[in-house]
Amino acid sequence: MKRFRLTALTITLSLLLSACGSIPNLTQEENRMVSEYAASLMLKYDSANHTRLVDTSEFLNSYYTAKKAHDDAEKAYYDAIAREEEQRRREAEAQKNANSEYNSNQSSSNSSKNDGTGGAKVVDSTFSNMPIGEFLGYGNFDIAYAGFELLSNYPKDNDSAVSLSASSSNTALLVVYFDVTNNSQSAANLDILSLNCKFRLSINDGSYKGVLYPVMLDDILSECMDDFAGLEKKQLVLIMEVDKNTVVDSLSMTVTGSMGTLTKKLK
């Protein structure tokens, strides 16, 4: 029906424009107006004509495809972070259990030295005046206490790729800092890890407890196996989990190795 109307209109308008109809003489402006009107009628009844200026369906499809790819990648990224956090939590929990078992065994084996407070204190004054580096067999290294902090996470820099967290909201990490200096002019290697020494800390003259051994951190004193340039100084740490409300008035350390046990008053 539309095609019939379109054909009829075209013929009629052609007759009008050729001066064969009932309006014989048209001015140039009237001819232009009739031509435009005819063109508009042809477009109106042309089924192929679209009212939209731009077909955006292709662009929308591309947008939604790209957005889905972005959302999938973002989800995969955060899922990977969650898995890493869970793995670190499990490692910290396993280390905590291992330290607890070790401390329990040490308490049993040293019960004769119990101070009456329920904790087994290991005190060996034989090496009390010996520098830590010398006791470990590295006389050219100076290992000096440099302070402590109570933190919920270590390192406290949130940008660190690997970190250690306290196991619960009721606990904190006691982080004890040591300045380790190679006193030699020549490069030297400090390998404490291979010595299999046991480091323990005592707060406020209480019982000695084993430190954590987080293998994912590379600045742990008890696990140090590093090269130092001549006269180079690095800061290493020992970490122990404590109650978050702990007030540290005094701090001591023991190091047990092949030579015996070294006891040091740090603070």
Q: What is the CATH number of the domain that holds 156?
A: 2.60.40
Per-residue model confidence as pLDDT tens digits over 61-95: 776 777 777 777 777 777 777 777 777 677 667 66
Give the pLDDT band (50/70/90) at residue 47.
Answer: low
Predicted pLDDT of residue 219: 94
Give the pLDDT band (50/70/90) at residue 100.
Answer: low
Residue with tokens 């955006």, as numbered in its chain: 56
Question: Structure pTM?
Answer: 0.54
**Which residues are CB-contacts of 40 (< 8 A; sequence separation ≥ 6)?**
none
User: Is 190 contained in some domain?
Assistant: yes
Q: Are residues 16 and 145 in the same domain?
A: no
Mean pLDDT of the chain: 77
Q: Are residues 38 and 126 in the same domain?
A: no
Q: How far apart are CA 182 and CA 160, in angstroms?
A: 26
Q: Which domain holds residue 12?
A: 2-44
Q: Are residues 145 and 16 in the same domain?
A: no
> How would you classify the pairing of strands 198-203 and 251-257?
antiparallel
Alpha helices, DSSP H only, in the chain? 2-17, 28-44, 57-109, 132-135
Q: Domain count of the chain?
A: 2
Q: Among 7-11, 39-43, 136-140, which is the least confidently predicted range? A: 7-11
User: Is 191 contained in some domain?
Assistant: yes
Q: Are residues 105 and 231 in the same domain?
A: yes
Q: How far apart are CA 6 and CA 43, in angstroms?
A: 10
Instruction: Give the closest residue to 164 by CA, choosing from 224, 240, 99, 253.
Output: 240
Question: What is the three-class DSSP state of 180?
Answer: strand
Length of the chain: 267
User: Is 72 contained in some domain?
Assistant: no
Per-residue model confidence as pLDDT tens digits over 8-26: 455 555 555 554 445 556 6
Which whole number is the average pLDDT over 23-39?
66
The answer to whether the CB of 210 falls within 8 A of the CB of 99 is yes
User: Is 65 contained in some domain?
Assistant: no
- Sequential DSSP letters for 7-18: HHHHHHHHHHHT
